[in-house]
Structure 1
């Protein structure tokens, strides 16, 4: 197949996505596909017209890109995807492999543009991505489907002189986790013990800090991969912990009783179906409370695909090589 791999983009996960894109492109090239690698937000968007097979790794920096660059990156990305040589390359492809993470790549923008242009692509459609990307909407859908999610309050500091009653009530019960309501790779996730320590900007989701173990489950179509436990050395699974070697232990298959593994896999499939992922793929993240009860924190529409990312780790636990996984996602 002629495959165009989209990576990079304009989000806070730009560097992660470039690493994913190179890994995906080289895996596909190694399986005989004709692969072009494109970063639509780069000054020179075509990174490689024909990607060679190989195992070279693009490292992820310790900090996400500066927010000040986002406007420029969005301008480049919009121009590249709506006309000119990049759009022509995408039209010539048999399939576009979306290795974008976060921002326009995961919130449905890119998917909508490709749908309008009639270009086939991997992963879910724009509507599913839009719901999954917004943590408040995603948890509302999951809750309506009977999937346990944490108590939560959406809060925009710009609209309130002080935290609303719901946030104060959560803080009265102990520490809370505060995260942007629409962002990924655990960017700006923090554990907070008092109202004074709450962030002062952005639309936020506030939920109780759950003191138990953390797990993730990948789903491809109706198939679940083995449960991965994320053993943290930090209070929360933030950006630095997620992408720097040695910051966490990722144990697959997780060393847990069979009934808990089955419970987590069942919840992941139900979440996948409730959000409308269908035959495509997703990754559901869970954290347990002190009693060991799991709660679904979020569902990722385009999870990381670096060779050390959680979905490839789960695939390896099932005896699936990285190259085999990428091939399966190409046709899912």
Structure 2
């Protein structure tokens, strides 16, 4: 196939997305596809290509810090121009498949998917409506809770727009809590907070960006994640942390976390986590042509709670979905080909 990989983009996960794109390019070339690698937010969008089987592709490392807010505004303007006209749009229309390696922002909240749908371009992953539903963590948890899945108590707060809501005060008073952007990925700006005064400090940091915070009780138990491809739940991954929360640095810098797959857990818990991930996948509208990754953390009694569902999980060498694939005895190229095959159903 002629495959255009979209990566990079304008979100806080830009570096992760670039690394995912280059990794996917190597895998698709190994499977005999022709590849063009495009970063729609870059000044020169075509990063490489057309690449053909046998061509060499270098690896890309993930930086320690996500892009600044001012940088993201500039990237968003360039991305909008690239995707709505000119040579990038023509490249997308001429492709047999667009492989989405865009994480966060417009790449994961449904914007890019909606544009591709309107242009009649086939792409990997979930449709625009499903991505939009999964992107907002508060709405995701509301949908999952209504479907009977276990979710933690939560409260939303847009700092600066109003006084601290009473439900936020109550949760913080009972502390500790986790405060994080209600719509962002790669665990950017995730904080464990032990007091209301500390929460106020976190809120002051995020106020300038207009971010809405989701506040939920800190769950002291073990942390797991389960990927679903189509109708198949992959083996459970356990995340063993050296930090209180699985934040951006812990995810992408060596030594901050240990990830084990298959997780060393009883069969009953393994089966339960995989069943919950499948139910979450379906409850949010992910179909047999899409993939997702559901994150769990256990409470003090060892009961797993659904935290969020990722519509376009990372595909870097250090990412959790490729690790789960190895637990299923798939190679990395196997995984990328399976994602492509789902889109062609």
Question: Which TM bucket (shorter chain)?
Answer: over 0.9
User: For the residues of structure 2 that align with 1:157 and 1:80, how far apart are their CA atoms?
Assistant: 33
Residue pairs, 1:227-306, within 5 angstroms:
227-279=236-288, 280-306=290-316
Give secondary structure in 1 for the equivalent of 2:197.
Answer: helix
Q: TM-score, length-normalised on structure 1?
A: 0.98
Partner secondary structure for residue 96 of structure 1: strand
The residue that corresponds to 1:33 in the other structure is: 33
What is residue 197 of structure 1 aligned with on the other side?
198
Question: Given that residues 22 and 57 in structure 2 are in contact (C-alpha distance below 8 angstroms), is that contact kept between their aligned partners in structure 1?
Answer: no
Q: Which residue does the alignment assign to 2:172?
A: 171
SS of residue matched to 1:211: coil
Q: CA deviation at 1:55?
A: 6.6
Partner of 2:94: 92
> 1:310 corresponds to which residue?
320
* Aligned-partner Cα distance in 1 for 2:306–2:50: 40
Residue number in structure 2 paired with 1:56: 58
TM-score by length of 2: 0.94
What is the deviation of 1:232? 0.3
Structure 2: runs of 5 or more not aligned: none
Asked whether the equivalents of residues 30 and 53 of structure 1 are also in contact (C-alpha less than 8 Å), the reply is no
In 2: Cα distance, 1:119 partner to 1:324 partner: 23
**Aligned counterparts, 1:62-141, within 5 A:** 62-141=64-143
Q: How much has 1:140 moved relative to structure 2? A: 0.7
Q: Equivalents in 2 of 1:193, 1:165: separation in Å?
A: 17
SS at match of 1:17: helix
Alpha-carbon deviations, 1:244-285, whole Å to 9, x = none? 112100000000000000000000000000011111100000
- 1:309 and 1:53 map into 2 onto residues whose CA distance is 24
3-state DSSP of counterpart to 1:159: coil
Unaligned runs of 5+ in 1: none
Aligned to 1:15: 15
1:182 aligns with 2:207: no
Give how far 1:50 is off: 2.2
In the other structure, the counterpart of 2:235 is 226
Q: State whether residues 27 and 54 of structure 1, in contact with CA within 8 Å, keep that contact through their aligned partners in structure 2.
A: no
Contact 1:134 1:182 in 2 (8 A): yes
CA distance in 2, matches of 1:174, 1:65: 31
Deviation of the 1:68 alpha carbon: 0.9
Q: CA deviation at 1:165?
A: 1.1
SS of aligned partner of 1:50: strand
Distance 1:225 1:53, change over 3 A: farther
Structure 2 distance, partners of 1:174, 1:78, is: 41
| Alpha-carbon displacement from aligned partner over 1:24-72 (angstroms, at most 9, x marks no partner) | 0111011100000000000100001223655732100111111111111
Number of residue pairs matched by the alignment: 331
- 1:146 aligned to 2:155? no
Structure 1 residues 262 and 55, CA gap change in structure 2 (3 angstroms):
farther
